[in-house]
Structure 1
Amino acid sequence: MAIERLGAIDVLSPANVGALASALESLGYYRYWLTEHHSPQQSGSPMLMAAIAAASTSRLRIGTAGAMLPYYNLPRLASETRLLRSLFPDRFEFGVINGRVRDPILHNRMLDGVPLRDYPAAIRYLMSMVTGSFSIGDEDALPTELEDFWICSTSPSSATLAGELGSRFAYHHYLAAGVPLAESLAIVDQYREQWSLRRGTAPPPVVLVCYGCCAQTEWEARERWAASIAQKGHSWPLPTTAEPRLRDRSFPCFLGSGPQCVAQLEELANVYGTTDIVLQSLAPSFPQVVESYALIAAEQPAITPSSGMIAGPAR
């Protein structure tokens, strides 16, 4: 299956966000998503990082993938979302995750004494504040299709919820640790089935989020991947066959030269039945990350470099 839209998800230092966004736009990428991490080296504010990325570009779609919903004041988050949508019309994609920080002390401090909310209820409440599309508490209400509202997850319940509520769904394949491929595909199918059941129309493409490394040669890509993983304190093995790439997050989804990586990504897109891919290129340095994205873009005929436009169907 041909890839129609390529995106990227943040890597390395927040100091590189503006430069990477600008580079991705010049390479013809469709979207750039910012994540939430609570560590000294990364950003815990995807909304702020998204604003910086959007201000550094003019066409690239910018989003969050996503805001850790349990830790947010929902009225304030809705206000920030409306603000970014007004500042960057038709470019801001707001995504949420049901994520937790690993440190229990930090987790409790971030909750600040507020009990964990019911996740589906929190999303409904947030959607109603952002769009006013349906009433809070009405379980049978059918909201307007929300093209710029994303639920990002690897869980069956989140996939079902996204389909029921009419939001878009991003499946983070690279975070599906130990999940068999058949289960991953079933989760994606749950979203599609719920969407069609509730709306009576074909669902929009699921975005598949993948990570790996691309370089001039396969050997160089493997060296960069290994160095990047070592920087993060991991010792994951490298794949010797295509099968691990499809089923285990310990292996890169794409690894090799430009032609090799595009072939691997097209295989993944075909397996998941999607045309939208978001990449996380891991490499030891920022210039190597940019090169990885550039080499993949150069092999994609659907991308028009420097225009920020993707050939093919409109959104």
Structure 2
Amino acid sequence: MTMPQLSVLDLVPVRSGQTSAQAVAASLALAQHADALGYTRYWFAEHHNMPAVASTTPPVLIAAAAARTQRIRVGSGGVMLPNHAPLIVAEQFAALEAIAPGRIDLGLGRAPGSDPVITQLLRASGTAGDVDRFPSHVQDIALMLQPDGATVQFTSGGEYGVRATPAASGAPQIWLLGSSDYSAQLAASLGLPYVFANHFSGQGLERALDLYRTGYQPSEAHPEPVTFLTVNAVAAPTADEAEARALPQLRTMARLRRGRPLRALETVEEAVAGLRADADAEEQQLIETVRGNWFIGTGASVASDLSAFAARYGVDEVMISPVAGAYADEPLDAPAGPLQTLEQLAR
């Protein structure tokens, strides 16, 4: 089987003893390595107020990554649109397109990216919190990013032009992200590229892809449906090391699903010790359930599994979230585990 194109999804993980500055430095170093290793794109997610995640502001991280890379596409996976005014998103990504022409992706989602309290704080101004207007906001952003811009029609008559930047020569590629039937159907109706967030749950993947492909309405920019899938992956020289490096994130996911307080990501040693000392049957079961949707093993075995996965769902690109944890003696400002995964899978 043919190996699909590979891309990277980064949540900027923060491990115990690590500062935000060190976590960001490690992620930016990983973006540089992904560029050198031939990966297709590098996306930053949007999450808020989480002890183990520093990817709060994708546009800022994208700008920093774009300045440190040469050829790889950089973007958001995604910007959670209901948290932001559409004009602000359009302006930010028009500026990014000017910084790195032809290399910017704008992935848009409608989930909050945090808990209800943070959602209320993000939407306190009342400018963008209407989730029901998500489809029209997506279309507004697409128009404002075009060289001709968008036109506001006044009820009293007359028009007003709105452009995200004065003299655009290009525009970011817009992707719709989601993990539900809604997002698949909306992407299809708008003729936009679509990404199913398989790394998040994996539930409903086949149905979402079928709805997207069968309901797709061709657009000028995309006459055919365009899609790829996301996965969690850990690759290492040995299967045992890969399993060990996966454990910190697996325990974090188990805590999340049980509604337990979140904390900075454990080191491999802390995760192993914690599993032996305090894991109960429910946590063990949750870890096994989550692990069943991940790709963990040697570089060769994970590459083979990714090829089979891509062939099964008819995609030629897979975006991996390299969820490998770190050992306690590994540098705090370097992406040891994630980089190892990227190197193991690079063609």
Q: Equivalents in 1 of 2:189, 2:176: separation in Å?
A: 11
1:152 aligns with 2:208: no
Does structure 1 conserve the Cα–Cα contact (< 8 Å) formed by 2:218 and 2:224?
A: no
1:212 aligns with 2:243: no
Does structure 1 conserve the Cα–Cα contact (< 8 Å) formed by 2:232 and 2:321?
A: yes
CA positional deviation for 1:85: 0.8
1:189 corresponds to which of 175, 199, 210:
210
1:128 corresponds to which of 143, 155, 159:
143
- Secondary structure of 1:175's counterpart equals coil
CA positional deviation for 1:136: 7.8
The amino acid of 1:79's aligned partner reads E
**Could you list the per-position Cα deviations for residues 107-143 of structure 1 after superposition, in whole angstroms to 9, with x for gaps in the alignment?**
1111115142411111111111112577789xxxxxx
- Secondary structure of 2:33's counterpart equals helix
CA positional deviation for 1:103: 2.4
Q: Equivalents in 1 of 2:197, 2:125: separation in Å?
A: 30
| TM-score, length of structure 2 as denominator length | 0.73
Does structure 1 conserve the Cα–Cα contact (< 8 Å) formed by 2:47 and 2:56?
A: yes
Q: Equivalents in 1 of 2:66, 2:222: separation in Å?
A: 32
Does structure 2 conserve the Cα–Cα contact (< 8 Å) formed by 1:212 and 1:252?
A: no
The amino acid of 2:208's aligned partner reads I
1:76 aligns with 2:101: no
1:175-186 matches, cutoff 5 A: 175-176=200-201, 179=203, 183-186=204-207
- Secondary structure of 2:101's counterpart equals coil
The amino acid of 2:211's aligned partner reads Q
Task: Name whichever of 35-44 and 66-75 sits farther off.
Answer: 35-44
Alignment-derived partner of residue 3 in structure 2: 3
| TM-score, length of structure 1 as denominator length | 0.80
Alpha carbons of structure 1 residues 69 and 155: separation in structure 2 relative to 1, 3 Å = same
CA positional deviation for 1:195: 2.5
**Could you list the per-position Cα deviations for residues 224-263 of structure 1 after superposition, in whole angstroms to 9, with x for gaps in the alignment?**
11133235664465998xxxxxxx6553431100110011
1:169 corresponds to which of 176, 194, 202:
194
Does structure 2 conserve the Cα–Cα contact (< 8 Å) formed by 1:92 and 1:148?
A: yes
Alignment-derived partner of residue 34 in structure 1: 44
1:220-259 matches, cutoff 5 A: 220-230=241-251, 234=255, 235=283, 249-259=290-300
Instruction: State which structure, 1 or 2, has the greater radius of gyration over its C-alpha atoms.
Output: 2
- Secondary structure of 2:196's counterpart equals strand
1:33-112 matches, cutoff 5 A: 33-38=43-48, 39-40=50-51, 41-112=53-124
Q: Equivalents in 2 of 1:279, 1:147: separation in Å?
A: 21
- Secondary structure of 1:66's counterpart equals strand
Q: Equivalents in 2 of 1:133, 1:164: separation in Å?
A: 21
Alignment-derived partner of residue 161 in structure 2: none
1:294 aligns with 2:346: no
Does structure 2 conserve the Cα–Cα contact (< 8 Å) formed by 1:213 and 1:252?
A: no
CA positional deviation for 1:19: 0.4
Aligned-residue CA RMSD (Å): 2.7
Does structure 2 conserve the Cα–Cα contact (< 8 Å) formed by 1:205 and 1:275?
A: no
